[in-house]
Structure 1
Amino acid sequence: MVKKKKIPMRKDIVTGEMVPKRELIRVVKNKENEVSLDPTGKKPGRGAYVAVSVAVAQKAKKERTFDKAFGVTLTDEFYDELIQYADHQQARQELFGKND
């Protein structure tokens, strides 16, 4: 019998859905209150996840989701970077499939 590998699930902070961690972008706030994208998923600090989706990233910008989640004020540049990164990752998933 083949043991099914447990897939770590995380909540998408924008949509509230539980999604496999690999299909999400991690955003992290460190002790200095700096918020950044975490492509490796290993940066220290408090993490929040958002779907690899331009539409969801744009919604996060519109609703200032990460400002609320982390109790900080973020620049539009941060959200624009998130949208660009989501766009890039979305394109990669379409090219290579979800398990690259």
Structure 2
Amino acid sequence: MKPRKIPLRKCIACQEMMPKKELIRIVRTPTEEILIDLTGKKAGRGAYLCGKVSCFRLAQKSKAFERALKQPVAAEIYEQLEQDFLGVQDEFLARGEQSDDEG
């Protein structure tokens, strides 16, 4: 039986290729809303970040979100995303450790 192909995505900050499940997806929905998508299935244009706060800050500083999402991102959206990212980071890292134990 042929092994399943693991989809890879690139972190918009550090440019490292990683399996899609190990990255956090930021999505611009069709209603122009920007939010974190932990399921990876929300409709809209997505950008991926590894779970490091340093990568989030680098993406913010280099305007990588604006390029990836093809839309200007306001300062208050960055603030909201940072709060969400910090909250999600712990949950995301715990989820990653859980899948490591299973495999």
Q: Which TM class, normalised by the smaller chain length?
A: 0.7 to 0.9
CA distance in 2, matches of 1:56, 1:29: 19
Using the alignment, how far apart are the partners of 1:29 and 1:99 within structure 2? 32
Aligned twin of 1:54: 53
Question: 2:22–2:96: 8 Å Cα contact kept in structure 1?
Answer: no
Q: Does the CA contact (< 8 Å) of 1:54 and 1:87 recur in 2?
A: no
Secondary structure of 1:66 counterpart: helix
Q: In percent, how many aligned pairs have the same letter?
A: 37
The CA RMSD over aligned residues, in Å, is 2.2
Q: Which runs of 5+ in 2 are unaligned?
A: none
TM-score, normalised with respect to structure 1: 0.78
1:84 is matched with: 87
C-alpha contact (below 8 Å) 1:50/1:57 kept by paired residues: yes
Question: 3-state DSSP class of the match of 1:91?
Answer: helix
1:27 aligned partner: 26
CA distance in 1, matches of 2:101, 2:6: 12
Matched position secondary structure for 1:5: coil
Match of 1:93 in 2: 96
The two structures have a TM-score, normalised by structure 2, of 0.76
Mark the runs of 5 or more structure 1 residues left unpaired by the alignment.
none
8 Å contact 2:23–2:49 — kept in the other structure? yes
Distance 1:91 1:58 in 2: 21
State the SS of the aligned residue for 1:28. strand
